[in-house]
């Protein structure tokens, strides 16, 4: 799902944290690194014209919330973590579209791989 026409974009890439998500006992016990990439679709015109932070997204606060979604409340699936992040983003009034990718580069996969990731995209439109 591409970003809808007429929306601008804010990207937060590479938000990394140690979380305890996974279906295996050692994943829950030991944890591992998770990395989140977030793209927000919104109209940045009002904020830019008026120099008004309240008309955009405070990405410092959102980055902390994304970090906390990785660190807190362990779940079995990274799909659940990604959806949790999507819901956080869409709770921002100005955000009309969001794409969240959660990477699990240390996933317990038996073959050589670089990364495994889940992407969820949603729109208020």
Per-residue buried b or exposed e for 23-47, using 16+ beta carbons within 10 Å of the residue's own CB: eeeebeeebbebbbbbbbbbebeeb
Structural contact between residues 108 and 24, judged by C-beta atoms closer than 8 angstroms: yes
- Catalytic residue set: 104
| Residue 71 near residue 84, CB atoms below 8 Å | no
Ordered alpha helix ranges (H), the chain: 25-30, 45-50, 59-71, 78-90
């Amino acid at each position: 799902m591409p970003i809808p026409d007429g929306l601008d974009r804010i990207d937060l890439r590479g938000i990394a944290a140690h979380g305890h998500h996974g279906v295996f006992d050692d994943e829950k016990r030991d944890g591992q690194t998770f990395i989140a990439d977030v793209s927000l679709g919104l109209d940045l015109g009002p904020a830019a014209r008026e120099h008004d932070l309240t008309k955009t997204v405070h990405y410092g606060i959102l980055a902390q919330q994304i970090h906390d979604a990785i660190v807190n409340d362990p779940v079995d699936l990274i799909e659940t973590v990604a959806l949790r992040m999507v819901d956080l983003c869409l709770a921002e009034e100005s955000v009309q579209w969001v794409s969240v990718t959660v990477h699990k580069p240390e996933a317990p996969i038996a073959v050589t791989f670089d990364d495994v990731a889940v992407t969820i995209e949603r729109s208020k439109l």
